[in-house]
């Protein structure tokens, strides 16, 4: 498996995206209405955490994954209304967010994050989630934990000289209000060396050797239900707390730090009513943000990562693309006008040519803004394959070819899920277990090849495996069971597409890898929604290949312009197999089935565009025009048109933004002369054609 590829270029994207997610999490959290949280906000929070979790795992930052995992669990429970949202949860989420932010900066070359702080926040989040907290376990410190605590003392040593604190906490084993949660102990351990001196019926005594300020220790108890009874005694000569951080949760009387005998009560306000007086959590978001960031000067000093790219909203890019498209049209109209009115002097001609070159270059550059290498979708798969192979006990070698092929960003985003499904399928259903492979004389290690390349105006992505191939008999049996009309001697090319039928799974057992959830029908639907096509080829014992053909971008398409009567329509090139001039003797009428045309022995249904659209064609008989053989959802169909006009790259324009859906039309485009042409949806045309004499007559 190619793990050694250069990940740095993707990491930059990860950094940017995570920073964006973190920023949005912060703003949502700060604007959250505790008593009446907006479910949409909760979902957005959850999604942000989930995205960071997923991508950090992919890019190999397990520390961030760990934190987001706990955070995500908490948010998920809140989101599902399993636990009510509290200020504590918002605070903890914000703190977790800050830790993530620090981690993120650490990965970008900043200072390393204090691992203890990470543990503390995870523990805190877990406690809020309501995961079982083993009280006793927290009280006893294993040798290993002691070591790590000691190590933590060292990491904190830079903040000052360690001093010894005596801490007395009210304690009652059977009263949940007077219990010491493990999160408290864990947090204290992050501050320094902690020893449990002993406990009696009433209180527990702890000794903490730490360089931390009293305030930081106070913080450990800020969520303790009876925090006001916690007594922290600094030893003689302890310096007063230097950092007077305005805590929003509690008012810590800071002036008393000089007197070692005066205990320092910490006020916590578990009731919301009290809370609102002392802590304007929601009202003063700026303050929260400042106080939440742990004051670690060495991290603040870390230089921000250099900006190597800017994030621009896709809307702006689309607007730019639109405008450039307009410019190209204006340019070509200008050229046409100049030529038509024979105004062209040599100078003007040269300058028009120059304008044309410049506009083309501008257009290409602008289009390339949206293009990304397909590796953005591919790079997650080595990890997926590794995990899957481990889970299934198979040996898999994933080869990726052509990952640098560029594809529209929108396509890449939407292709990842279908690819994910196909690769899972290949590994789960396609590849055999190592011993089966040895038995049939194959390398015990199966191979999955994921490749991408340009072919004509489209990008082809293939998922190939050298497994056992599709099982023809089982697919046919399943199809019969489902009531799909099949016959045993159907050609393979018609059998394989059956697996795209909804709810079609031949998996003998449903595993947690595949066999349930989204099926191949969803894969096909997703790909077709991108204007692409899926093909399958398979050979028993040798493996299967799934070929996905995608348009280069969602905004531009290669089209053939055709003339029907006075109208010009565009047919997507990817749909066209060939064009032929028919002879009347090949066209036959089938009773009740309309017309068919014999193309080299194959009878294809014939549909006439002018009949479906109720317009008048120039051709009076079939041998006047052209038959285009197009690939549709309903198989190959011959489409009768008057003439072929030419091939263009067309910009796809939505009709539905200002009008309703038009049957048989997928979109519109603007031609070189500024006029509008409709882009045909051949699959829908075929369906309309098969319905009989077109749609209802025009109103």
From the CB of 563, what's the least distance to another protein, in Å?
13
615 binds another protein (CB under 8 A): yes
Distance CA 465, CA 488 (A): 26
Check if the beta carbon of residue 459 is closer than 8 Å to that of residue 407: yes
From the CB of 609, what's the least distance to another protein, in Å?
9
Please spell the DSSP secondary structure of 501-549, one letter per residue.
Answer: STT----SS--SSSSSSS-HHHHHHHHHHTT-EEEEEEETTTEEEEEEE
State the Cα angle at 583 between 580 and 589, rounded to 5°.
105
340 binds another protein (CB under 8 A): no
- Can you tell me whether residue 93 is helix, strand or coil? helix
661 binds another protein (CB under 8 A): yes
Please spell the DSSP secondary structure of 313-348, one letter per residue.
Answer: -HHHHHHHHHHHHHHHHHHHHHHHHHHHTT---HHH
DSSP-derived secondary structure letter, 127: H
From the CB of 638, what's the least distance to another protein, in Å?
20
665 binds another protein (CB under 8 A): yes
Q: Considering the complex, state which of residue 472 and residue 690 has its C-beta at the smaller distance from another protein.
A: 690
Of positions 197, 284, 343, 695, contacts another protein by CB under 8 A: 695
From the CB of 13, what's the least distance to another protein, in Å?
30
649 binds another protein (CB under 8 A): no
621 binds another protein (CB under 8 A): no
Q: Considering the complex, state which of residue 170 and residue 664 has its C-beta at the smaller distance from another protein.
A: 664
Check if the beta carbon of residue 403 is closer than 8 Å to that of residue 374: yes
23 binds another protein (CB under 8 A): no
From the CB of 675, what's the least distance to another protein, in Å?
6
User: Which residue's entry shows tokens 């918002």?
Assistant: 90
Binding mask 268-307 for another protein (x = CB under 8 A): ----------------------------------------
Distance CA 47, CA 76 (A): 9
Region binding another protein by CB under 8 A among candidate stretches 193-201, 204-212, 371-379, 609-617: 609-617
Distance CA 172, CA 645 (A): 89
From the CB of 187, what's the least distance to another protein, in Å?
53
352 binds another protein (CB under 8 A): no
325 binds another protein (CB under 8 A): yes
Q: Considering the complex, state which of residue 354 and residue 614 has its C-beta at the smaller distance from another protein.
A: 614
Region binding another protein by CB under 8 A among candidate stretches 384-392, 445-453, 498-506, 658-666: 658-666
1-40 burial, b at 16+ Cβ within 10 Å, e below that, comes to beeeeeeeebbbebbbebbebbeebbebbbebebeebeee
Is residue 493 packed enough to be buried (19+ CB in 10 Å), middle (13-18) or exposed (0-12)?
exposed
Q: Considering the complex, state which of residue 43 and residue 654 has its C-beta at the smaller distance from another protein.
A: 654
From the CB of 528, what's the least distance to another protein, in Å?
21
Q: Considering the complex, state which of residue 328 and residue 459 has its C-beta at the smaller distance from another protein.
A: 328
Distance CA 402, CA 413 (A): 18
645 binds another protein (CB under 8 A): no
Residues in the interface with another protein (CB under 8 A) total: 34
- Can you tell me whether residue 630 is helix, strand or coil? strand
322 binds another protein (CB under 8 A): yes
As given in the structure block, the two tokens for residue 612 are: 């479906």
567 binds another protein (CB under 8 A): yes
User: Which residue's entry shows tokens 């001196």?
Assistant: 197
Paired residues of 545 in beta bridges? 464, 537
From the CB of 556, what's the least distance to another protein, in Å?
13
Region binding another protein by CB under 8 A among candidate stretches 177-185, 296-304, 541-549, 606-614: 606-614
Distance CA 125, CA 93 (A): 7
663 binds another protein (CB under 8 A): yes
Region binding another protein by CB under 8 A among candidate stretches 125-133, 260-268, 295-303, 664-672: 664-672
691 binds another protein (CB under 8 A): no
Region binding another protein by CB under 8 A among candidate stretches 287-295, 357-365, 554-562, 676-684: 676-684
State the Cα angle at 74 between 68 and 76, rounded to 5°.
95
Of positions 82, 298, 326, 413, contacts another protein by CB under 8 A: 326
660 binds another protein (CB under 8 A): yes
653 binds another protein (CB under 8 A): yes
Q: Considering the complex, state which of residue 433 and residue 670 has its C-beta at the smaller distance from another protein.
A: 670
From the CB of 572, what's the least distance to another protein, in Å?
17
From the CB of 661, what's the least distance to another protein, in Å?
6
353 binds another protein (CB under 8 A): no
Binding mask 537-566 for another protein (x = CB under 8 A): -----------------------------x
Q: How far is CA 549 from CA 455, 462, 505, 652, in A?
A: 9, 9, 23, 18
Half-sphere exposure of 621 (CA within 13 A, CB side): 6
Distance CA 546, CA 538 (A): 8
State the Cα angle at 609 between 606 and 611, rounded to 5°.
90
Residues interacting with another protein, by CB under 8 A?
322-323, 325-326, 566-567, 612-615, 653-665, 668, 670, 674-678, 695-696, 698-699
């Amino acid at each position: 498996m190619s793990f050694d590829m250069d990940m740095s270029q993707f990491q930059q994207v990860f950094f940017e995206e995570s920073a964006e997610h973190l920023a949005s999490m912060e703003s949502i959290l700060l604007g959250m209405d505790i008593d009446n949280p907006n479910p949409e906000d909760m979902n957005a929070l959850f999604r942000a955490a989930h995205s960071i979790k997923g991508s950090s795992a992919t890019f190999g930052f397990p520390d961030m994954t760990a934190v987001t995992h706990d955070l995500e669990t908490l948010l998920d429970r809140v989101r599902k209304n399993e636990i009510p949202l509290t200020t504590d949860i918002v605070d903890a989420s914000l703190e977790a967010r800050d830790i993530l932010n620090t981690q993120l900066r650490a990965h970008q070359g900043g200072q390393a994050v204090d691992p203890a702080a990470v543990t503390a926040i995870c523990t805190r989040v877990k406690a809020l989630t309501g995961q079982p907290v083993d009280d006793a376990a927290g009280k006893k410190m294993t040798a290993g934990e002691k070591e790590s605590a000691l190590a933590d003392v060292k990491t904190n040593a830079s903040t000052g000289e360690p001093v010894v604190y005596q801490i007395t906490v009210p304690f009652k084993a059977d009263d949940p209000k007077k219990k010491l949660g493990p999160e408290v102990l864990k947090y204290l351990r992050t501050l320094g060396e902690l020893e449990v001196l002993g406990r009696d019926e009433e209180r527990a005594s702890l000794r903490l050797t730490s360089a931390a300020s009293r305030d930081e220790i106070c913080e450990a108890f800020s969520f303790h239900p009876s925090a006001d009874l916690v007594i922290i005694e600094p030893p003689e000569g302890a310096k007063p707390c230097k950092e007077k951080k305005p805590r929003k949760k509690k008012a810590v009387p800071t002036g008393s730090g000089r007197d070692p005998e005066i205990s320092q009560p910490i006020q916590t306000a578990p009731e919301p009513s009290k809370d609102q007086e002392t802590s304007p959590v929601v009202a003063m978001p700026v303050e929260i943000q400042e106080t939440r960031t742990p004051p670690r000067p060495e991290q603040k000093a870390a230089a921000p990562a250099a900006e190597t790219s800017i994030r621009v909203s896709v809307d702006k890019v689309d607007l730019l693309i639109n405008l450039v498209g307009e410019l190209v049209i204006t340019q070509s109209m200008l050229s046409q006008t100049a030529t038509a009115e024979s105004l062209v002097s040599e100078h003007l001609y040269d300058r028009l040519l120059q304008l044309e070159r410049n506009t083309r270059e501008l257009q290409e550059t602008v289009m390339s803004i949206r293009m990304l290498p397909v590796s953005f979708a591919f790079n997650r798969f080595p990890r997926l394959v590794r995990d899957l192979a481990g889970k299934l006990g198979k040996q898999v070698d994933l080869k990726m070819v052509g990952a640098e092929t560029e594809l529209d960003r929108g396509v890449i985003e939407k292709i990842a899920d279908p690819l994910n499904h196909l690769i899972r399928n290949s590994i789960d259903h396609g590849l055999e277990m190592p011993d089966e492979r040895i038995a049939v004389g194959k390398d015990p290690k199966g191979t999955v090849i994921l490749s991408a390349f340009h072919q004509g105006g489209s990008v082809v992505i293939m998922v190939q495996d050298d497994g056992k191939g599709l099982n023809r008999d089982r697919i046919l049996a399943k199809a019969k069971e489902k009531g799909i009309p099949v016959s045993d001697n159907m050609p393979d090319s018609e059998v394989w597409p059956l697996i795209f039928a909804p709810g079609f799974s031949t998996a003998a057992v449903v595993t947690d890898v595949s066999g349930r959830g989204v099926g191949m029908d969803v894969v096909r639907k997703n790909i077709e929604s991108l204007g692409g096509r899926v093909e399958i080829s398979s050979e028993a014992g040798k493996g299967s290949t799934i070929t996905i053909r995608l348009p280069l971008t969602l905004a531009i398409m290669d089209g053939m312009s055709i003339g029907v009567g006075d109208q010009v329509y565009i047919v997507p090139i990817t749909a066209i197999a060939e064009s032929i001039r028919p002879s009347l003797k090949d066209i036959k009428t089938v009773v009740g089935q309309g017309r068919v045309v014999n193309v080299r022995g194959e009878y294809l249904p014939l549909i006439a565009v002018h009949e479906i659209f109720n317009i008048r064609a120039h051709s009076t008989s079939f041998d006047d025009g052209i038959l285009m053989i197009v690939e549709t959802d309903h198989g190959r169909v011959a489409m009768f048109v008057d003439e072929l006009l030419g091939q263009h790259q067309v910009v796809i324009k939505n009709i539905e933004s200002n009008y309703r859906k038009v049957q048989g039309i997928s979109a519109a485009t603007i031609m070189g002369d500024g006029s509008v042409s409709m882009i045909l949806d051949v699959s829908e045309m075929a369906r309309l054609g098969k319905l009989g004499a077109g749609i209802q007559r025009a109103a």
